[in-house]
Amino acid sequence: MTISREDIEKVAVLARIRLDEEQIPALENDLGNILSLVDQLSAADTDSVEPLAHPLDAVQRLRTDDVTETNQREAFQAIAPATEDGLYLVPRVIE
């Protein structure tokens, strides 16, 4: 399987990564190699293997519904780039 230039541009948009024009050929090569590796894996016969949701053969433990967290807003907002009235400020989002 090969990866096209358009695929790379689309993935970059989805991942919010800005790519320079000259980076693309190298990525095409690298990602293409990774996909070849996946193709090799796909060749393995997995008909009798159940899909794995997690590599650990264990079961999730659950927590009781008790409030254990306290208000740490001041500490968290001390490291935020911008806050106001208790809100985190981010560049304006327009839907």
Partner 1 sequence: MQWDIVIGLEIHVQLATKTKIFSGSSTAFGAEPNTQASAVDLAMPGTLPVPNEQAFRYAVMFGLAVNAEIGRRSVFDRKNYFYPDLPKGYQTTQLDHPIVGPGFVDVDLADGSSKRVRIHHAHLEEDAGKSLHEDFHGMTGIDLNRAGTPLIEIVTEPDMNSAEEAVAFAKKLHSLVSSIGICDGDMSQGSLRFDVNISLKRKGSDELGTRTETKNLNSFRFMEQAIAHEVERQMDILEDGGRIIQETRLYNGERDESRSMRSKEEANDYRYFPCPDLLPVVIDDAFIESARDLLPELPDERKARFKKRYGLNDYDARLLSDDARMATFFEETASHGKDAKLAANWVLGEFSARLNADDKTVVQAPITGKQLGQLVARIADNTVSSSGAKKVFEALWNGDGGNADAIIEAQGLKQVSDTGALEQMVDEVLAGMPDQVAQYQQETDPKKQKKMLGGFMGPLMKASKGQGNPKLFNEILLKKLNH
Query: Can you give the binding site for partner 1, defined by CB under 8 A?
Result: 10, 14, 16, 53-54, 56, 58-69, 71-73, 76-77, 82, 84-95
- Comparing CB distances to partner 1, the nearer of 48 and 70 is 70
Tokens at 79, concatenated:
């490291």
**Contacts of residue 39, Cβ cutoff 8 Å, sequence gap at least 6:** 1
What is the C-alpha separation between 75 and 78, in angstroms, rounded?
A: 5
φ and ψ at residue 88, rounded to 5 degrees: -85, 135
CB of 42 to partner 1, least distance (A): 16
- Comparing CB distances to partner 1, the nearer of 20 and 95 is 95
CB of 90 to partner 1, least distance (A): 4
CB of 85 to partner 1, least distance (A): 7
Q: Which residue has the tokens 């500490």?
A: 75
- Comparing CB distances to partner 1, the nearer of 43 and 90 is 90
Torsion of CA 73, 79, 85, 91, to 10 degrees: -130
